């Protein structure tokens, strides 16, 4: 698998994780009229997409030498598991607070993945 393919798959799953976290936040705060049973199902799907993003971030880190994106992606997968546990324990206030942190982290993961250069791209200085 080429570097550009690994980065493309990472970006796709990072964006999906970010979008699912937005839907989860909208549903969690009651701003999206979806049945509550879908909140848990979407949480499990979000965990899987975060886990896939973490796997491809690890592959990317092995090729690029940059471990930061991998650590962020792995942290998001761990935070997703914690979120599911908090939801199952019905610790509503903590679940909502950590959910907002997850939302910010998932959006950051998606934006950070797009800041990585694709194979063959040349860096240009920021001079005016």
Q: Which domains does the chain have, with CATH numbers?
A: 3-114 (1.20.120)
Whole-prediction pTM:
0.86
Residue 123: its pLDDT value, please? 45
Measured distance CA(83)–CA(63) in Å, rounded: 31
Q: What is the pLDDT of residues 38-56, one digit of tens each?
A: 889 999 999 999 999 999 9
Query: Across the chain, what does the average pLDDT equal?
Result: 89
């Amino acid at each position: 698998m080429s570097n550009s393919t690994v980065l493309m798959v990472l970006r796709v799953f990072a964006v999906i994780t970010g979008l699912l976290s937005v839907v989860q936040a909208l549903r969690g705060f009651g701003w999206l009229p979806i049945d509550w049973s879908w909140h848990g199902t979407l949480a499990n799907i979000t965990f899987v997409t975060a886990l896939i993003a973490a796997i491809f971030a690890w592959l990317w880190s092995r090729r690029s030498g940059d471990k930061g994106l991998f650590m962020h992606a792995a942290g998001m997968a761990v935070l997703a598991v914690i979120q599911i546990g908090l939801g199952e324990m019905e610790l509503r206030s903590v679940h909502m607070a950590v959910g907002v942190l997850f939302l910010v982290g998932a959006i950051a993961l998606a934006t950070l993945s797009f800041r990585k250069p694709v194979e063959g791209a040349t860096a240009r200085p920021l001079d005016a």
